[in-house]
Structure 1
Amino acid sequence: MYMPSEHVEVKLTDCVGTIVLNRPDHGNALTRLMVRQLVEAFEDLYREKRVRAIILTGAADTFCAGNDLEEIVDASSLLSEWADSQERWGEDAADFRDVISRMLETPKPIIAAVNGAALSHGAGLVLACDIVVACEESVFGIPDPRRGIAAGVVAPLLSHRIGTGQAARLLLTSSIIDSAEAVRLGIFHELVEGDKTWARGVELARECAEGAPEALQLTKRLLSETIGEQLDTQLTAGAIIQATSFTTTAAEEGISAFLEERTPEWK
């Protein structure tokens, strides 16, 4: 059973379950604990019969800025060498893959109410949702390469959603695109005013709830099976690549430069 959390809040509103990423002072960046709690939250809302659809959103004016790089640096500093953290990097990547897989497999509609920036891991959470409503101020991007990291888990899902060509453009340039471009690419499905993303998400959830629960579950099952084993294999392979990228000196420099607000010096 999901335990109440300060940073991952779960709320019930009639037939709608809402998961709120609640670290606004850190851009709702995901800690290791939050990643594990997300899996539990989705699992519990799936089992809650009253819930017909799930909304994922962020507190304040950010959806999710990615994973908590400060936590990563703090953890690695406990070891003698950056690369010695490889086992931990592997666990982190596998845990995030599990979140994405849980979302894709959940037989209830999941709606992203994107109320601000959705970057890196936050972009991955958006891509794992079935319906995406965003505010006009929202931005989307995967700037991981500029931090010396390969976005191994997010990349296959981005390619599945928008095609290999556009995915390559966004990933290789580390572009952060505005909401209009995200709509054009099919990442966001509609735009609303900034303070209305959750409310619109509730409207969409209630529209979904007008369908028979069994029909919705079968439809999501069909969508999941259409994605198929190939994407699941790619997510697992991507998690390995992502973990490996964290062991490099490039990641050490890129993350340090990001936290120190300077330009990285690549070797």
Structure 2
Amino acid sequence: MAYQFIQVERHGPVTTFVLNRPEVMNALHSPAHFELHEAFDAFAADPDQWVGIVTGAGDRAFSAGNDLKHQAGGGEMKSPPSGFAGLTSRFDLTKPLIAAVNGVAMGGGFEIALACDIIIASEAAMFALPEPRVGLAALAGGLHRLPRAIGTKRAMGMILTGRRVSAAEGKELGFVNEVTAPQDLMRTAREWAATIAELSPMSVRASKEAVYQGLDEASLEAAIKGQNRYPAVAALFRSEDFVEGPLAFAQKRKPAWKGR
């Protein structure tokens, strides 16, 4: 499908989603949200797509978040059920996503990155939830995902001041997995994606789902006892990969994962 405000690129089982509005630092408006919603729906439904990378066009910004000029000009502000960027309220996506943050990730842009499972950041990256500076609040998940990622006090230190955090500090705080030179960002993100793609997609999806669902359980005991009822975990037990993995190990060969 042809898109106007995003680009979608396939490389084997890895799909890259590029926020493509560099003239406004990849800020997103309603049409872009709906394009991303469709693209992530297609990614989720395609059994041959196993890992996703999300990045921004150009070298200035991952995403400056909500397109405030579009909003101020009376532009439509509708968003799909899957939330900001078609992602922040998409809680049933078990395929892993890597955010390759190439520059500014502000407000909704930071919320997109936080909605991904892994964040790789260029040394030029900058993160913030500055919504209170313009009379808004980070209600697309940032106020909830950031405390879960780095702890309440550290998160409140960012949220209540709207301050900017460098990639290096983001790694120290714990929401960035790796910092790279700008020219190495996409190579590094693709290396992470390739490493994940070497594993059973069914196992990866079950693991992701068990982690996030388990964090919402009342206790560790409840999480362990309840994990077998999660859809991706149940799908793993029924899958061809569940048979192939032990068989390949016994036969001392590389497994041929099917993702089903």
Structure 1 length-normalised TM: 0.76
Are 1:18 and 1:54, in contact at CA under 8 Å, matched by a contact in 2?
yes
Give the counterpart of 2:149 among 161, 177, 184.
161
The structure number with the bigger radius of gyration is 2
**1:184 and 2:172 aligned:** yes
Aligned residue number for residue 40 of structure 2: 42
The one-letter code sitting in structure 2 at the alignment partner of 1:66 is: G
More helix by share: 1
Conserved in 1, the CA contact under 8 Å of 2:101 and 2:119? yes
Structure 1 unmatched runs, 5+: 77-87, 231-267
Cα distance, 1:6 vs. partner?
Answer: 2.1
TM-fit CA distance, 1:114: 0.6
- Equivalent position amino acid for 1:55 in 2: I
Residues 23 and 134 from structure 1, CA distance in 2 versus in 1: closer, same or farther, beyond 3 angstroms? same
In 2, the alpha carbon distance for the partners of 1:44 and 1:224 equals: 22
Q: Which has the higher contact order (CA 8 A, sep 6+)?
A: 1
Counterpart secondary structure, 1:63: strand
Bigger mean CA offset, 220-229 vs 160-169: 220-229
Question: What is the number of equivalent residue pairs in this alignment?
Answer: 215
Written as runs of structure 1 = structure 2, the 5 A alignment for 1:1-267 is: 3-61=1-59, 62-75=61-74, 91-92=78-79, 95-96=83-84, 99-102=87-90, 104-153=91-140, 154-228=142-216
Deviation, 1:145, is 0.5
Preserved contact between residue 115 and residue 195 of structure 1 (Cα < 8 Å) = no
Distance verdict in 2 for CA 1:97–1:162, change over 3 Å: farther
Q: Does the C-alpha gap of structure 1 residues 192 and 66 become closer, same or farther in structure 2, counting only changes over 3 Å?
A: same
Instruction: Report if the CA contact (8 A) 2:62-2:104 is conserved.
Output: yes
Structure 2 Cα separation of the partners of residues 66 and 227 of structure 1: 27
Q: Percent identity?
A: 34
3-state SS of 2:74 partner: helix
Q: CA deviation at 1:44?
A: 0.8
Q: Kindly state the Cα deviation for residue 97 of structure 1 after the two structures are TM-superposed.
A: 8.6
Aligned AA (1:52): W
One-letter amino acid of the counterpart of residue 198, structure 1: M
**Aligned counterparts of 1:162 and 1:97: Cα–Cα separation in 2:** 23
Q: Matched residues in 1 for 2:127 and 2:92: separation?
A: 23
| Code of the aligned partner of 2:199 | G
Distance 1:7 1:152, change over 3 A: same
CA gap 1:167/1:93 in 2 versus in 1, 3 angstroms: farther
